[in-house]
Structure 1
Amino acid sequence: MDILIAETDSVRAAALAVRLEQMGVGRVRIAPPASTLADIVNTERPDLVIVDMARPDRGSPEQVRKVTASGVPVTLFVDEDDPAFMEAAITAGVVSYHVNAAVIADIRPVLRSAIALFRYARTREARLAAAEAELADRRRVDAAKRLLMRRDGMAEPVAHRFLQRRAMERQMRLPEVARALLREAGEDLA
């Protein structure tokens, strides 16, 4: 496992790095404080980012959002419980939020579960996006059929066959034919 620690306190970051290395979690690096977290993550491409904070910083969720958008899970260790900050962090994409990580005897399961949760969430997001795209395609085809039924007096099965034939003739997908037909009529659903 390749871990990047983001912590503004270099002593605290070094202590966490030593602890992780002693546990044998894999390669551990400390993010240089001069760069933004998202830039470092895009350059280094770690498996996981640990953000370790003595006091939750209100600007951190935006950095977390940028990191998770690049496809890297973030786990957050804080010293003080702050329910509002926790909600903001999870909304931003933190997959694992822990208060007082120093008392966690073995951190490896925490890190592995954070990566697994992140992958699971990404898979669900991809499935949701695919389902939404399929639904949009169906709506577009239905709208094209309604147009043909209204404009040309076709019955629904005839309108559907018309769209299918046109798709085969033009070697296009049915939703693409529907979009073109709707666009020509000035009724594109976008």
Structure 2
Amino acid sequence: MYILIADTDRTRAEALAARLGAQTAGYVVQVAPSNLSLSTAVAELRPDVVIVDMARPDRDSLEQVRSATAQPAPVMLFVDEDDPNFMEEAIGAGVASYHVDIATIADIKPILRSAIALFRRGAERERRLAEAESALAERRLVDAAKRLLMQRDMMTEPAAHRFLQRRAMERQVRVAEVARALLGDDEEKMP
């Protein structure tokens, strides 16, 4: 596993990297280069996990974290002081794991595994939601095409559905593609 540590305090980041390296045999731990923004470092280095350690988080820091969470890797955030409002904002920004005071945590491995599991679960949920939204959009498109056929060509609903299915089989495309083409052709003919 490749872990990227981002911290404005280079000494603290290197100490955390050494601690992680000692606890997680076989893991590659790297401190993010100071000449790269967090989002650029994550995009270029493509870590499996990103650990962001902040002494005093602020809105600018949160924006950097938000840009890092857009990448396909879980972001773990460690802060020095508990701030419930900032925690809510950080989780809303896509942070997979939020913790206060990394120095008091004896073993980081379970937290890493938990963050990865939560991230994967969230990514799977997002994937399923996108599929459901796509299926719903296709269903609406097919229904609109059937309504058009029923109004324009005086077809019954079952006949309109069979018409769309036959066209899809003939052209070897999905029914939604036939519906999209039909609706597009009809819109072009409208004045």
TM-score by length of 1: 0.94
Measure how far apart 1:61 and its partner are: 2.5
Alignment of 1:3-42 (within 5 A): 3-24=3-24, 26-42=27-43
Aligned twin of 2:85:
84
**Structure 2 residues without counterparts, runs of 5 or longer:** none
The residue correspondences of 1:100-111 to structure 2 (distance < 5 A) are 100-111=101-112
Partners of 2:136 and 2:31 in 1: CA distance: 44
Q: Counterparts in 2 of 1:1-190, with a 5 A limit?
A: 1-24=1-24, 26-186=27-187
Report percent identity of matched pairs.
66
SS in 1 for 2:76: strand
Q: Residue 59 of structure 1: SS of its match in structure 2?
A: helix
CA displacement 1:2-45 (0-9 Å, x = unmatched): 11100011111111112111212521110111111111111111
How far apart are 1:75 and its partner, in Å? Answer: 0.1
| Aligned positions, number | 187
Q: What is the RMSD of the two structures over their aligned residues, measured on CA atoms?
A: 1.3
C-alpha distance in 2 between matches for 1:166 and 1:19:
63
| Unpaired runs of at least 5, structure 1 | none
Q: Which amino acid aligns with 1:23?
A: Q
> Partner letter of residue 158 of structure 1?
A
Deviation at 1:118, TM superposition (A): 0.6
